[in-house]
Amino acid sequence: MKKQIITLALLLLTGAGAAQAQDCCQGSEKKECCQKAAIENIMTRTSIRKFKQQAVEAEKVETMLRAAMAAPTAVNKQPWHFVVVTDKQVLSELAGQGGRGNMLRNAPLAIVVCGDMSKAMQGKGQEYWIQDTSAATENLLLAAHALGLGAVWTGAYPMDDRYTHIQKVLGMPETVVPLNICIIGYPDEQPTPKDKWKPENVSYNKFGAK
């Protein structure tokens, strides 16, 4: 099943494989296989915090970025910017202090997901950049998992000390705000995905109605 997930996800996430993925899902049995693989990829994704010292291939980085940019975005503003970091010195500088320090220092790759305020909506709608970049981040994480990689979302915004440190290290203007750092690599651990299904968190038609 894991091999099927990776193969199907690669087809679905890459522009070159779009037509082939569509062919894959023709017919009831094949369509069901694609559906199961997609859901399985979502349900088995979990945060990975230990990585092998193995570089992530450039084509996989691009696939993850393509997946991120396929996310929904309010009024199609696409107010995001992604900084790909592979330089060990920069990774170490990003680490700074705190719990994610060792993860960044030992990982081969980080992708900093940012909101670009020059591309965002104006007025109250500007805050939609948070939703847009969050959706992009989840796409990125799912793509990483489908590609056999591990990843963890580490928050930056709205913690001033975190996102301003990232801005400084990466030479960002104030109009580009880091939402998070996704730390990525080949997994060196196999944690069991958590079952987060809780029926009590669901209402039907009106709040609190079962």
List pLDDT tens digits, range 180-200: 999 999 999 999 999 999 999
For the chain, the farthest-separated pair of C-alpha atoms sits apart, in whole angstroms, at 53
The answer to whether the CB of 113 falls within 8 A of the CB of 180 is yes
- Which tens digit of pLDDT belongs to each residue from 90-108? 999 999 855 678 899 999 9
Checking phi first, is residue 28 left (phi over 0); if not, alpha (psi -120 to 50) or beta? alpha
Instruction: Place 13 in a pLDDT band, splitting at 50, 70 and 90.
Output: very low
Question: Global pTM?
Answer: 0.87
Distance, CA of 168 to CA of 163 (rounded, Å) = 9
Residues 151 and 140: beta-carbon distance below 8 Å: yes
CA distance 34 to 83: 31
Q: Which two tokens stand for residue 109?
A: 């790759």
